[in-house]
A and B are shown apart, each in its own frame.
Chain A
Amino acid sequence: MRQWHAGLGIVAAALVLVGCYESTEVTVYDPGVYKGEEDPLMAKQRKEAQQERLRQRFRQVQTDR
């Protein structure tokens, strides 16, 4: 019974302690270099079709018509 209790205590302690775990992943900083995620929008914007879509939209919504 005691053992069972102790086991439970260890499990509980472990569960509580994992809350204190910090990821060891570190971003090494280089001045002037963006090291975040690559934005998928960048590639999309390079397509002429997408640029034309935005121009079309502009004519629809921004002009006085």
Chain B
Amino acid sequence: MKLTRKGSAGSGSAEGAPGTSASLEGQSIDRRTFLRRSGLSVGGVGAASVLPGYLMSRSRAAQDTAPKPDVETEIRRSVCTHCSVGCGVVAEVQNGVWTGQEPDFESPINLGAHCAKGASVREHGHGVKRVKYPMKLVNGKWKRLSWEQAVEEIGDKLLKIREESGPDAVFWCGSSKASNEGSYLQRKFASFWGTNNVDHQARICHSTTVAGVANTWGYGAMTNSYNDMHNCKAMLFCGSNAAEAHPVAMQHVLRGKENGAKMIVVDPRFTRTAAHADQFIRLRPGTDVAFIYGLLWHIFQNGWQDEEYIRQRVFAMDEIREEVLNNWDPATVEDVTGVPEEEMYQAAKTMAENRPGTIVWCMGHTQHHIGNNMTRADCILQLALGNIGVSGGGANIFRGHDNVQGATDVGPNCHTLPGYYGLSEDAWKHWARVWEVDYEWLRSRYDTRRKYNAGNGEMAYTMHIPGMPVSRWIDGVLEDKENLQQADNFRAIFFQGHAANSQTRNVEMKEALEKLDLVVVSDPYPTHLAVMSERQNDTYLLPTATQFETKGSVTASNRSLQWREQVIEPLFEAKPDHEILYLFAKKFGFADKMFKNIRVEDGVPSIEDTLREINRGTWSIGYTGQSPERLKLHAKHRGDFDTTTLQAKGGPADGEYYGLPWPCWGNPELGHLGTPILYDTSKPVAEGGLTFRARFGVEYEGENLLAEGSYSAGSGIKDGYPEFTLGMLRQLGWDKDLTAQEKATIARIGGIDVDESNLQEMSIREAIGSKADHINWKTDLSGGIQRVAIKHGCAPFGNAKARCKVWQFPDPIPKHREPLYTARYDLVDQYPTYEDRKAFYRLPTLYSSIQDKDYSGEYPLIFISGRLVEYEGGGAESRSSAWLAELQQEMFVEINTADANDRNIRDKQWVWLEGPEGGRIKIKAMVTPRVGRGVIWTPFHFGGWHQGEDLKDRYPEGTAPYVRGESCNTATTYGYDSVTQMQETKATLCEIKPA
């Protein structure tokens, strides 16, 4: 799979040897030896001038970054910024320079381990290829400008656009690479600007997981943890290549395997993860629902399902059973997925006989136009086996970026305010209370001139309509204005920490970029976005700090929050996200309102205060207990936590779970331990136990949706119950447990003036009547309702069944539908896609009109993409790191030997890969049996080339990454999930020809 393992530099698209070396000096002749031998100790001008330049520059570079003896070394602790595993990083700093990196063996998450990316993070402290100061394009040339100038110019242009086209004409792209605080401020900023056109990488990463999983059992997150995989008896990986995407997770996976777990890997490719599996199943891309149903067929046929669990805790499994047994017999499954009955049976048997077992899925599952169906099918499989809510089981969804979980939870999302509160009036009012701003003022920031189609035919103001997602911003620029559900097209984009080359349809993206009035890239590196178009003016680069140059909290995939210390000062003229947002908030005149409760010192908003504000508002998912103080304590005493259970044994955090995995209920003073495993009824809620969330009402079409006879340990209610409201507390007679202060807060939220001094004595009814009955566990800012529910052993969000049927979704029961661009066109009749939609996230969205045409003749190869361990995301950062770039120097495509021979293609030959929408990329062929016949695979981290052209000259001087190559997404195609607008990159078509 790795095309290049070169010993030397300078070939292909890789740039020559960068110079941070020491040891080379001793190899031929070093400068001091030369001087000594030539008898010159001083005045060696002549001697030095004959030295080759590379020795000189190396010498300087080494002096900059190498550790020095006898210089005081400070230790700073951070967390790797490359993936969601959350590996601890220990940095050694001398005089402000990052001179050493040590393994963080005390971290219970990585025990000192790193992958290539994690082992290279010290390079972030060198930043040779960084954007060093604000720049703008002037007639095609990059010109330096000051921060003041940049903010003034950009700000004026944005205000002009806002004036002319309304607040929705700007797309604000936030980031999963920002800290919780940074990403939270990104969402808050967009809200104050007056638009929901704000989004981040989760849209194209796990949005279908979040939607699918949350709608099944309550929360859209990994249920267990990497560490808990030590306890698995079986592990089913679907569309996850953990060995390359989450390498340190494999430490826990392989420990689980050594403890006896059976490991099954399902993927179109024989991945590096598959190389460690007991069983590898190759399936046709895009048929994951059929695959899961194929497993369920054997489970139902053999009666392997957990009937008691289903009776107590699962809704509508009978409808799944009917669907599976009627439509997904082994022959059909084999026809659709390509997996023979014997292999299906073996996998189903392994999962049935080895419980608890877990399922792991990643982009292979999520990035489809029916991604939400696939993720729900996974949940259903686990529910059938009774595997959710138990240690060793669970849906272990490995998230992507280091803070994609946190940014999804509290950050920039176009369809919701922080904490999944949504965009309803109630949601806005809740956050207005937290922010202490007037709701009407917030409303006035939005476009209130007219209402638009909210998607379901209902008309609403843009404030209440999901904005355009990051996967579709190009359509926000290119689509006919009349077809948009907002006032105007996008005229400006502001990207803070997102690689656009990880999005599909780059050819149209180039067109969109060239049409925009203004492009701002706030990033440590210029990124592909800055160079891919032929823009000449109105394009700005703002040097932005990495997370090692600031501090804050970051949420790992397992929902643990970890605290990062600042390792070094921002390099060059870089500023961290929150400082840049503050500058623009000031320019736009809402800084005082936006930072009302966040202290700003020397222009830098307090990270701690920002987290405290998150704590005060995010009751819905229990981001309320993780105060900065508690997180810092965990970081300091991380060695006290068990590496399997993540629970502290002794020490100041005794009994707590590492990083207080959310939900960490109530306020910090409540001292909740965190929830290491979601929906685990074996523990009391106060100690991390939980039930399934009652999120979908108490009944559906006359059938009970609440749990039956299942409840968490020590529950005061020995059966299912709805979510807690003040009214419910009153009915139970538990309202008397509320403190006077809590009562007063609840009353205030209910709009009732009360005399606080009387409250101690009075019941809530006497004090405020029933007017505040609707106030619930999510909107009660005192935390009293949560506290009292937990005191009685109950989960604040209720105790319901998980549901197999999501009646609000296009496919209530998950269905297989052929990819929009399918190689099996003969199956389209039976498994067609959806009808086109007129207004979906403000945009027309095509389905059937694309699938109507058969492309499989001209483009017969199925095209999928994925990750390399050395690079991350769009790769602007990692391809700019010499240590990583050396390991992967060329963009390539994996093609099966038979397909290569059919096309007269030889290994390492240049080829053209063309997608059905016309995008073409020039790359190297890697002929390998790793991909099956008819399927090709490319990595998606490359950029800096466009349709055969190296764009090196378009980068500002000295910032072009060492390694550049075609973005695979120049050749990828249209296709978006029917619930979340996830892009379909894991099943499209192409053809490959020798170049």
A15 contacts B103, CB within 8 Å? Answer: no
The answer to whether residues A18 and B40 also contact, given A61-B112, A65-B111, A65-B643 and a CB cut-off of 8 A, is yes
Minimum C-beta distance from B354 to chain A (A) = 22
A30 interface residue per 8 A CB criterion: no
Minimum C-beta distance from A26 to chain B (A) = 13
B730 interface residue per 8 A CB criterion: no
Complex alpha-carbon distance, A18 and B43, angstroms: 12
A18 contacts B111, CB within 8 Å? Answer: no
Complex alpha-carbon distance, A21 and B46, angstroms: 14
A19 contacts B46, CB within 8 Å? Answer: yes
Complex alpha-carbon distance, A60 and B111, angstroms: 9
B995 interface residue per 8 A CB criterion: no
Question: Which residues of B have CB within 8 Å of A15?
Answer: 43, 46
A16 contacts B105, CB within 8 Å? Answer: no
A6 interface residue per 8 A CB criterion: no
Minimum C-beta distance from B225 to chain A (A) = 16
Question: Which residues of B have CB within 8 Å of A65?
Answer: 111, 643
A18 contacts B255, CB within 8 Å? Answer: no
Complex alpha-carbon distance, A22 and B643, angstroms: 60
B112 contacts A18, CB within 8 Å? Answer: no
Complex alpha-carbon distance, A18 and B46, angstroms: 11
Q: Chain B, 88-121, contact with A by CB distance < 8 Å: what is the 0/1 string? A: 0000000000000001010000011000000000
B37 interface residue per 8 A CB criterion: yes
A19 contacts B40, CB within 8 Å? Answer: yes
B8 interface residue per 8 A CB criterion: no
Question: Which residues of B have CB within 8 Å of A21?
Answer: 37-39
Closest A residue by C-beta to B102:
A61
Minimum C-beta distance from B106 to chain A (A) = 8
A22 contacts B111, CB within 8 Å? Answer: no
Question: Which residues of A have CB within 8 Å of B255?
Answer: 64
A18 contacts B39, CB within 8 Å? Answer: yes
Q: Chain B, 24-48, contact with A by CB distance < 8 Å: what is the 0/1 string? A: 0000000000001111100100110
Question: Which residues of A have CB within 8 Å of B46?
Answer: 15-16, 19
Closest B residue by C-beta to A20:
B38
A27 interface residue per 8 A CB criterion: no
Report B685-725 residues with CB < 8 Å from chain A CB: none
A3 interface residue per 8 A CB criterion: no
Complex alpha-carbon distance, A33 and B643, angstroms: 50
Complex alpha-carbon distance, A61 and B37, angstroms: 44
Minimum C-beta distance from A10 to chain B (A) = 16
Q: Chain A, 20-61, contact with B by CB distance < 8 Å: what is the 0/1 string? A: 111100000000000000000000000000000000000011
Minimum C-beta distance from A18 to chain B (A) = 5
B38 contacts A61, CB within 8 Å? Answer: no
Choose among B37, B43, B643 the residue that contacts A23 (Cβ–Cβ < 8 A): B37
Q: Chain B, 327-364, contact with A by CB distance < 8 Å: what is the 0/1 string? A: 00000000000000000000000000000000000000
Minimum C-beta distance from A56 to chain B (A) = 12
Complex alpha-carbon distance, A60 and B36, angstroms: 44
Minimum C-beta distance from B910 to chain A (A) = 44
Question: Which residues of B have CB within 8 Å of A22?
Answer: 37
A18 contacts B38, CB within 8 Å? Answer: yes
Q: Chain B, 153-191, contact with A by CB distance < 8 Å: what is the 0/1 string? A: 000000000000000000000000000000000000000
For the complex, would chain A's binding face be called helix, strand, loop or mixed by DSSP majority? loop
Question: Which residues of A have CB within 8 Å of B112?
Answer: 60-61
Complex alpha-carbon distance, A60 and B112, angstroms: 9
Complex alpha-carbon distance, A16 and B46, angstroms: 8
B39 contacts A60, CB within 8 Å? Answer: no
Complex alpha-carbon distance, A15 and B657, angstroms: 71
Closest A residue by C-beta to B258:
A64
Question: Which residues of A have CB within 8 Å of B38?
Answer: 18-21
Complex alpha-carbon distance, A20 and B37, angstroms: 9
Question: Which residues of A have CB within 8 Å of B40?
Answer: 18-19
Q: Chain B, 505-544, contact with A by CB distance < 8 Å: what is the 0/1 string? A: 0000000000000000000000000000000000000000
Complex alpha-carbon distance, A22 and B47, angstroms: 14
Question: Which residues of A have CB within 8 Å of B39?
Answer: 18-19, 21
Minimum C-beta distance from B114 to chain A (A) = 12
Minimum C-beta distance from B356 to chain A (A) = 21
Closest A residue by C-beta to B35:
A19
Minimum C-beta distance from B48 to chain A (A) = 11
Question: Which residues of B have CB within 8 Å of A18?
Answer: 38-40
Closest B residue by C-beta to A63:
B111
Complex alpha-carbon distance, A64 and B227, angstroms: 12
Minimum C-beta distance from B32 to chain A (A) = 13
Minimum C-beta distance from B251 to chain A (A) = 8
Complex alpha-carbon distance, A21 and B44, angstroms: 13
Complex alpha-carbon distance, A42 and B255, angstroms: 37
Closest A residue by C-beta to B103:
A61
Minimum C-beta distance from B645 to chain A (A) = 12
Report B38-65 residues with CB < 8 Å from chain A CB: 38-40, 43, 46-47
Question: Which residues of A have CB within 8 Å of B643?
Answer: 64-65
Complex alpha-carbon distance, A55 and B38, angstroms: 46
Complex alpha-carbon distance, A60 and B104, angstroms: 10
Question: Which residues of B have CB within 8 Å of A16?
Answer: 46
A61 contacts B43, CB within 8 Å? Answer: no
Complex alpha-carbon distance, A19 and B47, angstroms: 7
Report B759-793 residues with CB < 8 Å from chain A CB: none
Complex alpha-carbon distance, A60 and B103, angstroms: 10
Complex alpha-carbon distance, A14 and B338, angstroms: 83
Closest A residue by C-beta to B50:
A19
Question: Which residues of B have CB within 8 Å of A20?
Answer: 38
Complex alpha-carbon distance, A60 and B643, angstroms: 13
Question: Which residues of B have CB within 8 Å of A19?
Answer: 38-40, 46-47
Closest A residue by C-beta to B644:
A65
A60 contacts B105, CB within 8 Å? Answer: yes
Complex alpha-carbon distance, A56 and B46, angstroms: 52
Complex alpha-carbon distance, A46 and B105, angstroms: 27
Closest A residue by C-beta to B44:
A19
Report B629-679 residues with CB < 8 Å from chain A CB: 643
Complex alpha-carbon distance, A21 and B39, angstroms: 6
Minimum C-beta distance from B263 to chain A (A) = 17
Complex alpha-carbon distance, A15 and B39, angstroms: 10
Complex alpha-carbon distance, A20 and B36, angstroms: 11
Minimum C-beta distance from B232 to chain A (A) = 16
Minimum C-beta distance from A15 to chain B (A) = 7
Question: Which residues of B have CB within 8 Å of A61?
Answer: 103, 105, 111-112
Closest A residue by C-beta to B230:
A64
Complex alpha-carbon distance, A22 and B111, angstroms: 52
Minimum C-beta distance from B432 to chain A (A) = 47
Q: Chain B, 305-341, contact with A by CB distance < 8 Å: what is the 0/1 string? A: 0000000000000000000000000000000000000
Minimum C-beta distance from B51 to chain A (A) = 12
Complex alpha-carbon distance, A18 and B342, angstroms: 82
Question: Which residues of A have CB within 8 Å of B43?
Answer: 15
Q: Chain B, 211-254, contact with A by CB distance < 8 Å: what is the 0/1 string? A: 00000000000000000000000000000000000000000000
Minimum C-beta distance from A36 to chain B (A) = 12
Complex alpha-carbon distance, A43 and B43, angstroms: 39
Minimum C-beta distance from B352 to chain A (A) = 29
Complex alpha-carbon distance, A24 and B906, angstroms: 57
Complex alpha-carbon distance, A20 and B105, angstroms: 53
Complex alpha-carbon distance, A34 and B574, angstroms: 52
Complex alpha-carbon distance, A49 and B36, angstroms: 38
Minimum C-beta distance from A48 to chain B (A) = 23
Complex alpha-carbon distance, A50 and B111, angstroms: 23
Closest B residue by C-beta to A65:
B643
Further pairs besides A15-B43, A15-B46, A61-B105: 11, Cβ < 8 Å: A16-B46, A19-B38, A19-B47, A20-B38, A22-B37, A23-B36, A23-B37, A60-B112, A61-B103, A64-B255, A64-B643
Listed A/B pairs (17) with beta-carbon separation below 8 Å: A18-B39, A18-B40, A19-B40, A19-B47, A20-B38, A21-B37, A21-B38, A21-B39, A23-B36, A60-B105, A60-B112, A61-B103, A61-B105, A64-B111, A64-B643, A65-B111, A65-B643
6 A-B pairs with the lowest CB-CB distances in the bound complex, closest first: A21-B39, A61-B105, A18-B39, A19-B38, A65-B643, A61-B112
Name B residues whose Cβ lies closer than 8 Å to a Cβ of A: 36-40, 43, 46-47, 103, 105, 111-112, 255, 643
